[in-house]
Structure 1
Amino acid sequence: MGATLEKLLRVFSTFSLSPRWSTCKCTYGSSCWPDANTFSSLSAHLSEPLVYPCPPESACYPADAPSANCAAVLTGTFDGNWRANQSGSMQSPNFETYIHPDSTVIEACYLNASLGVPCQQGSVPVVGVDARTVEDIIEAVKFAGANNLKVAIKNTGHDFLGRSTARGSFLIWTHNMKDITYNDSFSPLGAPSGETYNTITLGAGVQWHEAYSAAAVQGVILVGGLSTDGSVVAAGGWVLGGGHSALSPSYGLGVDSVLQFAVVTSTGAYLNVSSYSYPDLFWALRGGGGGTFGVVVSVTYQTHPSIPVVASVFSANTTNTTTFAKLLSEYVRISPELVDQGWGGYGDIINGSLQFLHVAPNVSLSSANDAYASFFDFARALSDEGLNVQTTSTLSYSTYYEWYKTWFTAGQPVGVNVLLGSRLLPRDVVESNYTKIGEALAEDFGWVQWVLVAGGAVSKVEPDAMGVNPAWRTALAEVLTAVSWPEGSNVSVISGWKDVLKQKISILEDLAPGSGAYLNEDSLNEENWQRLFFGSHYSQLKVIKDRYDPARMFVVVEGVGSEDWDEDLTCIREHQST
């Protein structure tokens, strides 16, 4: 009887909101951290050995005697796919570092070993599971729950808020779950007989370059993300946060194409989640944020037939701010018309230059020329006012995949310290204030991106149909900016750049006060992130979060429920512990 009671109490203390459980999660270095024998018992139930992540730069230490792997680090550090293959690497190394609260101490492992700073673990998890199967994830979750461990879920480490790493944590690494299944008659779990779709199911580790390649073989396309070398994962934080795409004006956000998730919850339950099976969780997963409701095993996307696409390419620059403001105002002014025709893409604005790459499916070359003729003529007419027009062209491609391979095999590198900020601009604001917006973006703003990934099909989905921020349904564009700093910068320098980012975000906020932001591409320092990222859906998302994560295992910065935790997301705030 005594032993049975003791066992029940042990189980209760692990999964209930008892004072011991609710105070703090167990992190490496604490007396509660499992010993080697305990981890060994976990390893015996896994398909792969445990991983012991470390900053990849550690191979270059000590500086006078680096390991043989240092050459690979130096070669691969700016390669998104190389970084994705390292269990201890984030795409932006600033998230590998750890700045002690209220101090000037930075724990980091810098690529430049000659800086004379010791290589330390920083915010990189210390041990984890290299998940290859559903059973691996279940075992990892059960182990984390039984030992009250702080958990990080990571795939490629592309998260721009560092949500896929945590200091002293236990890592669930899903990068090697690469299954891809095509099905031309998929029926979501619980759907009525006869309801079928043409789909691709992607394992949690499939990256977009792999997904696009597989889709092309089947003669279909996917609404997906675009990055250099396609290193972003297709079944992780991208889609869980909403997932925008150059195809969004034609086919909607990534979440608009999802038919089913497979997910493991903090209780160890493996659920197939659709609009008919666990519909509340399905609602939340479509935009409620990554690392929050469970560990995603796979995502099933509806596909679209592969069709020809046309691209529009433009570049121009000037040193005349007035001229530049005129160009940008016109660019903003024509944006609603473009998305109505299915055009989406990216415009980079930096140091008096504008470069954009747009794409539209199933549009003829002549229609594309008509769509952009007035803007190209407008730009050429500004030559007398100091505008140097370099490129005005429209190009046809037999498939979206051909366009993708042409433009996204090289570009901006990863492996640099960066923080982002964003705002979603509603259509009515763009239509009525395009001159103000153009003038604001023409100022000495540094890099800013005008992202045409809303409007069109995105705006046709009912705002409350899923958990994604309702601001997406009235938005026409996302405006994105960033700051960066050199490796080895001290806390004061980093703080200064964070202040610069706040100022930039303030300018964006003034363009459309209260509009919202994209939770995958924004700042760590938003004061009202619940409203900005989730809008009116936040309270319901939190209810669903508590329902499916009763152990509060999955906590990420500026994620649903994170306001209940301290700055390090390790201990429940005092007023929440009762």
Structure 2
Amino acid sequence: MKGFVLSTLATLAGATVLIGTQNASVVTASLTAAATTVSPKPTTLFPAETVQLTNEVLAAVSSNVRNANISDVFHFADPYTDSTLSKKNPRSCKVMPGDVSWPKNLLWNTLDTLLGKRLIKTVPLAAYCYPEWPEYDADKCANITSQWAVSNLHMYDPVSIMLPRYEGRTCMAPGYNYTKTCELGSYPTYVVNASTNTGHDFNGKSSGKGALSIWTHWFKDKAFYPQYKAANGYSLGVSVVGGEAVTVGLGGGHTAGGGHSPLSSMYGMAADQVLAMEVILANGRFITASSTENSDIFWMLRGGGGSTIGVVTSLIVKALPRLPTTTVTFNFTINDAPNVDAFWKGIEAYFVNFEDFINAGTYGYYYVGASATEIGTDDAGSTDYYFRMHSVVAPNMTIAETKALLAPWYNVLDSLNITYTPWYNHADNFHDSWAVALPQEYVGAAAVKTASRSPAPT
């Protein structure tokens, strides 16, 4: 984070920097040249990554700031040592807004200036629906409420998450809320609009009370290296292992958390596809992490969880051969079965055949619930059970081959007199089939909880 904050100093000229209670004027010329580095090999940097903070930049800025030393303020690149760790009180609580030690508005304003006015003070998405919030707007509230279950609404908001139960459900749209009030809850206090991945965590791990979040929604640059060679060597193709949802970006928390994919049964997790990463560490250093360079950090970033090591600004991932793909979508409810026992036996039959489906390289994404709406508490105790196969994804299989694979399950459903209608789609490439079968998901409901995904075969 400090590296990102201070990199903006490279383009500041004649600005005013407030340090502590002093007003220190920067009168230096542009420092862009000092902050631009040569692209490390074998990777090539995106334009935004070429502006980097260096010790020379810090020294140049400090020399032009009266009564202050920039490095003393930001502690750039200071490693943790035994002496610094010993100063930490293991019994001290995390500083929260309202505490005496919480940064004053003056410091937040200074940070905003250094970031080029990219600091966003958090307002919950549904705050427009609550008169106690200054943002209250009945028209905006009506639009938000009508779109609350649409994933794109949350994706384009810097703080909202898809599954609000993981935040605490502290500010929900009317009709979805549990508390009838709106509070900041576990949303971060401030967000940095880093402006270049979709910037959301499906399960809300990117949220945190009293946190400063970095919104990476606009990290979307791509490049193709037809003859890139990693340490072990490989040939590039035309498919990549990405997320299931259309709102999930390839980088960020998806890869950092492991990254399940419709292609995982065939190729493994998203983290298995990464060959190198560009990372801004917590001490401000901008590094390359790969199997041969900073290998410990590379290991940690591939499944160790997001928001733990630093900010990943770009990745080099494997591209794989073009894959013709078949998808299957269908559902059945308690009303499609002769009785409740038959309904659950139909679901049981899926799990009985589960291992065979996975070993064949397919992927299943499904919902099991007690109410098709799952809004608020109105459906508590409902027995309106349903099973919805969002999609079976069968890479490198025809429709006929997919039908044959699923036949043992279908045979059980037929024997139980369960009514269902499979809908098949096939394309000569993975992307087009995926786009049809896995559109935007139903999100925003406080009663939904995701569970384990289909693992790759062992």
- The TM-score with structure 1 as length reference comes to 0.56
The answer to whether the 8 Å contact 1:90/1:156 transfers is no
Find the partner of 2:158 among 71, 82, 87: 87
Matches of residues 437-476 of structure 1 in structure 2 within 5 Å? 451=453, 453-456=454-457, 459=458
1:57-83, Cα deviation, whole Å (9 max, x unpaired): 112231896365334422332221221
Q: Distance in 1 between matches of 2:309 and 2:131?
A: 41
- Matched residue SS, 1:81: helix
Partner of 2:239: 221
The answer to whether the 8 Å contact 1:13/1:21 transfers is no
What one-letter code is carried by the residue in structure 2 that aligns with 1:409?
A: P
Q: Distance in 2 between matches of 1:41 and 1:399?
A: 50
Q: Distance in 1 between matches of 2:74 and 2:274?
A: 39
Answering whether residue 285 of structure 2 is matched by residue 269 of structure 1, we say: yes
Partner of 2:195: 132
Residues 172 and 313 from structure 1, CA distance in 2 versus in 1: closer, same or farther, beyond 3 angstroms? closer
Partner of 1:30: 99
Answering whether residue 118 of structure 2 is matched by residue 49 of structure 1, we say: yes
What one-letter code is carried by the residue in structure 2 that aligns with 1:268?
A: G
1:499-556, Cα deviation, whole Å (9 max, x unpaired): xxxxxxxxxxxxxxxxxxxxxxxxxxxxxxxxxxxxxxxxxxxxxxxxxxxxxxxxxx
For residue 273 of structure 1, report the CA deviation from its aligned partner: 0.9
For residue 17 of structure 1, report the CA deviation from its aligned partner: 1.7
Partner of 1:414: 443
Q: Distance in 2 between matches of 1:52 and 1:393?
A: 45
**What value does the CA root-mean-square deviation take over the aligned residues?**
3.5
Answering whether residue 404 of structure 2 is matched by residue 370 of structure 1, we say: yes
The answer to whether the 8 Å contact 2:276/2:289 transfers is yes
- Matched residue SS, 1:287: coil
What one-letter code is carried by the residue in structure 2 that aligns with 1:237?
A: G
Matches of residues 261-300 of structure 1 in structure 2 within 5 Å? 261-300=277-316
Q: Distance in 1 between matches of 2:86 and 2:327?
A: 58
What one-letter code is carried by the residue in structure 2 that aligns with 1:172?
A: I
- Matched residue SS, 1:32: coil
Residues 41 and 48 from structure 1, CA distance in 2 versus in 1: closer, same or farther, beyond 3 angstroms? closer
The answer to whether the 8 Å contact 2:242/2:249 transfers is no
Answering whether residue 122 of structure 2 is matched by residue 60 of structure 1, we say: no
Matches of residues 337-356 of structure 1 in structure 2 within 5 Å? 337-350=356-369, 353-356=386-389
Percent identity over paired residues: 26
1:34-56, Cα deviation, whole Å (9 max, x unpaired): 23332333233324431111101
- Matched residue SS, 1:128: strand
Residues 295 and 319 from structure 1, CA distance in 2 versus in 1: closer, same or farther, beyond 3 angstroms? farther
- Matched residue SS, 2:420: strand
Partner of 1:401: 431
Answering whether residue 125 of structure 2 is matched by residue 19 of structure 1, we say: no
- Matched residue SS, 2:225: strand
For residue 406 of structure 1, report the CA deviation from its aligned partner: 1.4
Residues 305 and 124 from structure 1, CA distance in 2 versus in 1: closer, same or farther, beyond 3 angstroms? same
- Matched residue SS, 2:436: helix
Residues 60 and 276 from structure 1, CA distance in 2 versus in 1: closer, same or farther, beyond 3 angstroms? same
The answer to whether the 8 Å contact 1:91/1:156 transfers is no
Residues 318 and 125 from structure 1, CA distance in 2 versus in 1: closer, same or farther, beyond 3 angstroms? same
Matches of residues 481-520 of structure 1 in structure 2 within 5 Å? none
Q: Distance in 2 between matches of 1:8 and 1:225?
A: 42
What one-letter code is carried by the residue in structure 2 that aligns with 1:368?
A: T
For residue 258 of structure 1, report the CA deviation from its aligned partner: 1.4
The answer to whether the 8 Å contact 2:255/2:303 transfers is yes
Q: Distance in 2 between matches of 1:248 and 1:308?
A: 16
- Matched residue SS, 2:191: strand
Answering whether residue 349 of structure 2 is matched by residue 330 of structure 1, we say: yes
The answer to whether the 8 Å contact 2:329/2:437 transfers is no
Partner of 1:231: 247
Residues 4 and 224 from structure 1, CA distance in 2 versus in 1: closer, same or farther, beyond 3 angstroms? closer
The answer to whether the 8 Å contact 1:308/1:361 transfers is yes
Partner of 1:112: 174
For residue 235 of structure 1, report the CA deviation from its aligned partner: 1.0
Q: Distance in 2 between matches of 1:390 and 1:297?
A: 45
For residue 33 of structure 1, report the CA deviation from its aligned partner: 2.4
The answer to whether the 8 Å contact 1:309/1:362 transfers is yes
Residues 51 and 410 from structure 1, CA distance in 2 versus in 1: closer, same or farther, beyond 3 angstroms? closer
What one-letter code is carried by the residue in structure 2 that aligns with 1:112?
A: P
- Matched residue SS, 2:111: helix
Partner of 1:301: 317
Q: Distance in 2 between matches of 1:273 and 1:186?
A: 16
Find the partner of 2:108 among 14, 35, 39: 39
Answering whether residue 158 of structure 2 is matched by residue 158 of structure 1, we say: no
- Structure with max Cα Rg: 2
Matches of residues 488-567 of structure 1 in structure 2 within 5 Å? none
What one-letter code is carried by the residue in structure 1 that aligns with 2:255?
A: V
The answer to whether the 8 Å contact 2:151/2:440 transfers is no
The answer to whether the 8 Å contact 2:327/2:434 transfers is no
The answer to whether the 8 Å contact 2:150/2:440 transfers is no
Partner of 2:419: 389
Partner of 1:198: 236
Higher mean displacement: 22-31 or 172-181: 22-31
The answer to whether the 8 Å contact 1:155/1:164 transfers is no
Between structures 1 and 2, the one with greater strand share = 1
The answer to whether the 8 Å contact 1:319/1:352 transfers is no
- Matched residue SS, 1:307: coil
- Matched residue SS, 2:353: helix
Q: Distance in 1 between matches of 2:180 and 2:423?
A: 49
Q: Distance in 2 between matches of 1:261 and 1:363?
A: 33
What one-letter code is carried by the residue in structure 1 that aligns with 2:224?
A: Y
Count of aligned positions? 365
1:358-395, Cα deviation, whole Å (9 max, x unpaired): 1222223333333233433343233xxxx223224654
For residue 97 of structure 1, report the CA deviation from its aligned partner: 4.3
Partner of 1:180: 222
For residue 421 of structure 1, report the CA deviation from its aligned partner: 6.3
The answer to whether the 8 Å contact 2:266/2:361 transfers is yes
For residue 285 of structure 1, report the CA deviation from its aligned partner: 1.5
The answer to whether the 8 Å contact 1:130/1:173 transfers is yes
- The TM-score with structure 2 as length reference comes to 0.69
Q: Distance in 1 between matches of 2:163 and 2:181?
A: 19
The answer to whether the 8 Å contact 1:318/1:353 transfers is no
Between structures 1 and 2, the one with greater helix share = 1
Q: Distance in 1 between matches of 2:300 and 2:367?
A: 32
Residues 81 and 37 from structure 1, CA distance in 2 versus in 1: closer, same or farther, beyond 3 angstroms? same
1:89-114, Cα deviation, whole Å (9 max, x unpaired): 2223344448xxxxxxxxx3342299
Residues 50 and 68 from structure 1, CA distance in 2 versus in 1: closer, same or farther, beyond 3 angstroms? farther
